[in-house]
Every structure is written in C-alpha cells, then in structure tokens.
Structure 1
Amino acid sequence: MDIPEIFEGGKYSDERGSLTFNNNFNASEIKRMYCIENADTKFIRGWTGHKIEQRWFSVLQGHFLIRLIKIDNWEKPLKELSVLRFEIDSENLNVLHIPRGYASAIQAQKENSKLLVMADYSLGEIDDDYRFPIDYFENI
C-alpha cells in the first residue's frame, strides 16, 4: 500500500463492559512497538520520516492529529509538499498505516494522550531516520 490509510476498528459494549477491537488490521509485519506521550497539546513532534520503514499508529488514550508528507527526494525535499491530516482517537482502536516514504508530525489533541507506534524493522536494523525542522514543510 503506497498511500496512508486507516484500518477501522470498533467497539462493543454490554452489561459486562466494553471491548475495543480491530479485525481489519494485520499485524504480521510488526517487529517492534513503542508509545509516545507528548509533553502537552502545544508540542508537535516532527518532522521525522522513513524512506524504507513503515509505521502504524494507534491511539491508546486520548486523541492525536497526525500530519503526513510524501517525500520523493530525501536529500533535499521540496518545502511546498501537500500535507495530509489524520485525526485518530482511542474510541475504536483505529490503526493509521504510514507507508515507507512519508514524514510525520504528531500532536496530541487532549492532555495525557498516548500513541502506540509499530514498525516493521527492529531498532538498529537499518539506518532510516530523517529529521526536518518543525516549520520546514508548513508554518505550524
């Protein structure tokens, strides 16, 4: 898949409680996971990109705005690239897939939000981390 997409989850509730699930997401490519908790809702973590690695984001608690940019020239990317925006929250265990070739900027929309990040390469397996100043692609 070359474009970002959301695998929609769901939620079931009855007298016993609630169950959130995602039967549309195949986790077989995942090699590692970690959680991100931004210091506050004003802080934007980014821009960080990966030419080779794929990522999947799921919100465990709260709500996040994820900005994505497709980069073709990693040595000198254009500054006027189109920004995709995704808002995901913890209500339905949705999973946002970020294919290889994208950079992301991550901003919590609620205090104490937690983002689960999954990747298809182990830590140190490849050198594929590209970082750009937060105002490089857009004035945010």
Structure 2
Amino acid sequence: MLNKGNKFSDERGVIKFNNDFDASAVKRIYTIENSNIDFIRGWQGHAIEQRWFACTQGCFRIAVIYIDNFENPSSDLEIKYYDLNADTLDFLHIKPGGITAIKAMEENSKLLVLADHGLGEINDEYRFPLNHFNINL
C-alpha cells in the first residue's frame, strides 16, 4: 500500500511531509544505499514483521510479493512494482507476509526503512534467490 506524501515550497524553502502516516508502530529506523544501480537487493522479507519504505534521495523501484508459503513459495506469485523518489515523502507499507526486491534507479539513492520490531526481537527473516520469481526490475 502506498501512502502518498506531498511537498510545499515557497521563498523560505521546501517542506516534504506525509500527514497521513501513522508512525506509532515503529520501533526501528535504518537506511539502505545500494552499491550501484545494477545491484538488486532481495528477495527478502518477513512473515510477521512489517516495513515502511520512503526514498530520501534519488529514486528506487521496489518489487513486492506476498508469499503463499514461506517454506516453499510458489514461483508464479503476483509481483507489484512501486517507484519511490525523493520528491515527496511517500511511504510504501509492506504488510506481514511480504518480501521485496529493491533497485536504486539513480546513483547515490537513499531509502529510509521503518520496522515494527526491534533488531533480534523475533526470528522472522526470509531470503529467496532473485531468480525464484520472474522479476522485471
């Protein structure tokens, strides 16, 4: 689910905001910077945890799949694609059960990540090979 942000600018400068985003569930914040625009980070996700992504610099394309079976996922699951850029403070919400593949579309792009569980709070990380699903990034 994409929660659209916005921006306001005048002679004083620019404010980027997302007044509809509820951050009350957030317990951890970190950033991602891919090594280059050819690298795809993924597939990685969580059965229990949820994440929110916002681009703070540059542009990212994020592919999202909701897994049917974390022990043996079908290879033909639907993939949804989202483009996030630093123009507005859009938040992409990945609900529990989702995995992502993340690609920077511009050099030096930065992605802000919010998580609803602390580091090591639960054991809930799943990784799958990129070629397991028919990705088109």
Alignment TM-score, normalising by the size of structure 1: 0.95
- Paired residue for 1:137? 133
User: What is the aligned-residue identity percentage?
Assistant: 51
The 1:84–1:139 alpha-carbon spacing in structure 2 relative to 1, beyond 3 Å, is closer
Q: Distance between the aligned counterparts of 2:129 and 2:23, measured in 1?
A: 31
Given candidates 29, 32, 47, the residue that maps to 2:28 is 32
For residues 47-86 of structure 1, the aligned pairs below 5 Å read 47-86=43-82
The structural deviation recorded for 1:139 is: 4.9
What letter is aligned with 2:115? Answer: A
RMSD: 0.8
Matched pairs, number: 136
What letter is aligned with 2:37? Answer: T
Q: Distance between the aligned counterparts of 2:25 and 2:127, measured in 1?
A: 24
Q: Distance between the aligned counterparts of 1:110 and 1:12, measured in 2?
A: 24
Stretches of structure 2 that go unaligned for 5 or more consecutive residues are none
- Paired residue for 1:103? 99
What letter is aligned with 2:75? Answer: K
CA deviation string 1:30-56 (max 9, x = no partner):
000100000111100000010000000
The structural deviation recorded for 1:134 is: 1.1
What letter is aligned with 1:63? Answer: C
Q: Distance between the aligned counterparts of 1:95 and 1:26, measured in 2?
A: 10
Alignment TM-score, normalising by the size of structure 2: 0.97
Please state if 1:7 is matched with 2:11: no
